[in-house]
């Protein structure tokens, strides 16, 4: 399994993007990509945009998408082992292993969230686990099922602390990191809904504290769904209490 990496930097210089041609507005493919692959990718991209738009209600970010048909292309433009890479609120780079609806939707979700939150300063307030959890949720990533997560974490008992997820990303068991993040965001979203998400984004955009907004929105919505099993977690794993 492989995930993404999010670069919380400002935009790269467009002049550093050699060897790409624009194949549709805002969509660039490397010069090795065949016309057939290009057509296929444009279809994939439009399906992934539909997924993101259905979740947020619309797409506000105008992103530039760079698709690589070779690993050389991906690596020479800053990619490593991930399938894709989102740059801030405006650009995404996809590896030849990431030219699928799930990966594109995942990266577009990062970009949409960053864009809606507004500034570089504000989006740094969003913890990695929320950023990744939302991307896995919105992209409907089929690898992260409730069953698989329950098995991996012994029904949540071995789930990591949310604040430790950031440093776990890209290493070890993806179900523990991305899976736990997805579950936490998913349970929260069941209660908060789109209105709650919009509220959270507005709070962070206005300089509010992420954690207090996240927690107060969930409880305002009359939580009845338990999230991680905290008691079990406390009793059985020092890692999982928080």
Contacts of 101 (CB under 8 A, 6+ apart): 44, 47, 48, 51, 139
Number of chain positions touching Zn ion (CB under 5 A): 3
Q: Which of 4, 61, 117, 168 binds Zn ion (CB under 5 A)?
A: 4
CB of 168 to Zn ion, least distance (A): 13
CB of 4 to Zn ion, least distance (A): 4
Burial of residue 73, with CB atoms counted within 10 A of its CB: 0-12 exposed, 13-18 middle, 19 or more buried: buried
**What mask, x for binding Zn ion by CB under 5 A, covers residues 101 to 140?**
-------------------------------x--x-----
Burial of residue 35, with CB atoms counted within 10 A of its CB: 0-12 exposed, 13-18 middle, 19 or more buried: exposed
User: Looking at 120-172, which runs of residues are DSSP E strands?
Assistant: none
CB of 6 to Zn ion, least distance (A): 5
Among residues 112 and 132, whose Cβ is nearest to Zn ion?
Answer: 132
CB of 90 to Zn ion, least distance (A): 16
Among residues 132 and 203, whose Cβ is nearest to Zn ion?
Answer: 132
For 237, how many CA atoms within 13 A lie in the half-sphere containing its CB? Answer: 18
Whole-angstrom Cα distance, residue 219 to residue 136?
Answer: 23
Which parts of this chain interact with Zn ion (CB under 5 A)? 4, 132, 135
């Amino acid at each position: 399994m492989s995930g993404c990496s999010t670069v919380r930097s400002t935009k790269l210089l467009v002049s550093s993007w050699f060897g790409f041609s624009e194949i549709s507005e805002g969509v660039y493919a490397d010069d090795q990509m065949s016309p057939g692959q290009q057509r296929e990718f444009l279809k994939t991209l439009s399906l992934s945009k539909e997924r993101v738009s259905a979740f947020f209600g619309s797409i506000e970010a105008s992103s530039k998408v760079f698709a690589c048909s070779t690993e050389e292309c991906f690596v020479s433009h800053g990619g490593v082992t991930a399938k894709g890479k989102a740059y801030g609120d405006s650009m995404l780079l996809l590896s030849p292993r990431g030219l699928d609806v799930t990966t594109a939707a995942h990266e577009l979700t990062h970009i949409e969230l960053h864009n809606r939150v507004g500034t570089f300063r504000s989006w740094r307030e969003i913890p990695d686990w929320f950023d990744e959890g939302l991307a896995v949720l919105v992209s409907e990533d089929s690898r992260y099922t409730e069953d698989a997560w329950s098995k991996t974490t012994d029904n949540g008992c071995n789930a990591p602390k949310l604040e430790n997820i950031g440093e776990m990303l890209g290493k070890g068991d993806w179900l523990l990191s991305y899976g736990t993040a997805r579950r936490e965001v998913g349970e929260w979203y069941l209660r908060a809904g789109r209105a709650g998400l919009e509220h959270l984004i507005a709070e962070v955009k206005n300089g509010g504290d992420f954690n207090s907004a996240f927690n107060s929105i969930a409880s305002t919505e009359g939580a009845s769904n338990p999230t991680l099993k905290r008691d079990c977690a406390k009793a059985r794993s020092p890692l999982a209490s928080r």
